[in-house]
Amino acid sequence: QVQLVESGGGSVQAGGSLRLSCAVSGYTDGDNDMGWFRQTPGKEREWVASIRTREGATYYTSSVEGRFTASRDNAKNTIYLQMNRLKPEDTAMYFCAAGPLGSGSTVAMYDYWGQGTQVTVSS
């Protein structure tokens, strides 16, 4: 049974930092895409970043490039999203997801999702 469990969300002031974690269990070994997405009420889920689990290559949407960093610890089966210089527009529920290599920014390609963790950034 595949499980993804996010943690690390919270409330911060603009300019602050948070680190999200996503603990993964039951997913296959090998090279996969792990994605970070976010969603606000009434809007579609938005891709934020993704990381390839074997080679560690990372990809970011332009609005977070240079502020957010995705990483992974394969020994702990955990991926992270370090978020710096947070802005009020980063406020959202953040989700991690697991999918086959090449899933990239496409929501429908991801097979498994966590329950989400709320990030709130105040001005």
Q: For residue range 89-99, what is the model confidence (pLDDT) as tens digits? A: 999 999 999 99
CA proximity to 5, closest of 121, 120, 112? 112
Is 90 strand, coil or helix?
A: helix
Q: What is the pLDDT of residue 31?
A: 84
Confidence class for position 85, pLDDT limits 50, 70, 90: very high
Q: pLDDT, tens digit, for every residue of 20-47? A: 999 999 886 678 999 999 999 999 999 9
**Distance of alpha carbon 107 from alpha carbon 110, whole angstroms:** 6
pLDDT at 30: 75
- Quickly state the pLDDT bin for 11 (edges 50, 70, 90): very high
* Average pLDDT of the residues of the chain: 96
